[in-house]
Chains A and B, each alone.
Chain A
Amino acid sequence: MSQKIIMNFTVPGDDFTRAGEASSAVKRALKQLGLNSDVIRRVAIAMYEGEINMVIHANGGEIVVEIGSDDVQMILTDHGPGIQDIALAMREGYSTAPDEVRNLGFGAGMGLPNMKKYTDEMTIDSIVGQGTTVRMVVRVPQS
């Protein structure tokens, strides 16, 4: 793969049932490109957690995925409330999600820690009241 493949998604914030469609499309594309299955799963899970976060916390957002021969980069941008304390948000089990989100099977405070666990690089830039950008990279092992 000499040139990067770029995929753009708009994640709707008002339809929980559609959350995960972007991650599913990326997973399908990575499979078609024949990437290592471990890389595919790590990208899929990290992006899926991010996509779910966008829907439950930020009323949707945009995702750009760049697939290169060395790595897969995901940039998730939302215009939601922002994260007050990023270090606290990274702690396993900490969540600001309301009970109705927990009733849907999420909001256990594992989203951001999972995203960090499954990626090689992750940075979070957030401004309270303006939104959050999460950049994640999964490196592709070179054979």
Chain B
Amino acid sequence: MTVGDVRNILQARVLCGEDFMEKTVHTACGSDMMSDVLAYVKDQSVLLTGLVNSQVVRTAEMMDMVCIVFVRGKVPDDAILELAKEKEIVILSTNYRMFTACGLLFDHGLRGGCELK
């Protein structure tokens, strides 16, 4: 699916990165602990989180992720959005809570990329 599909499925607002809606995403993860994201994620493109600070963008940058979805309607401040723009990372905000947002994306075919064998 594309970042635009993620936006539509989650009825999300695009806070930055409107030009990248056609980017393809294969996998996703949801976590409020960036340490866990850095530990367990492999080739994942979308990060869903309820944590709002600049290190969320830094974490996504280090992992080569293309899109961050802030759940529970959270909206980052301008400094975070500026950093995301600089790194060409799309920022979405959805009113869905974490479990539901992840479930909707899973239901539409997006996977975690590190399922148990």
Binding site for B on A (CB under 8 A): 16-17, 19-20, 23-24, 27, 37, 41, 44-45, 48-49, 52, 92, 102, 104-111, 113-114, 117
Contact = CB atoms under 8 A, between A and B. Distances in A.
A109 B53 CA distance: 20
Of residues A37, A48, A114, A117, which shows the largest number of chain B Cβ atoms within 10 Å of its Cβ? Answer: A48
B9 interface: no
A102 B91 CA distance: 23
Interface in B20-62: 32-36, 38-39, 49, 51, 53-56, 58-59, 61-62
Contacts of A111: 35
Contacts of A114: 35, 38-39
Contact of B61 (A19, A27, A104): A27
Q: Is the interface of A mostly helix, strand, loop or mixed?
A: helix
A110 B38 contact: yes
13 contacts: A19-B55, A20-B54, A20-B55, A41-B62, A48-B59, A49-B35, A92-B39, A104-B55, A105-B49, A106-B35, A107-B35, A109-B35, A114-B38
Contacts, number: 69
B79 interface: yes
Interface of B: 32-36, 38-39, 49, 51, 53-56, 58-59, 61-64, 79
B79 A49 contact: no
B79 A17 contact: yes
Q: Is the interface of B mostly helix, strand, loop or mixed?
A: helix
Given A16-B55, A45-B38, A108 B33 contact: yes
A104 B52 CA distance: 8
Contacts of A104: 51, 53, 55
Contacts of A109: 35
A84 B76 CA distance: 37
A105 B58 contact: no
B62 A44 contact: yes
A105 B79 contact: no
Please list the 10 inter-chain residue pairs (A to B) with the smallest Cβ-Cβ separation, ordered nearest first: A20-B58, A108-B35, A105-B34, A110-B35, A44-B62, A110-B39, A17-B54, A105-B51, A48-B62, A108-B33
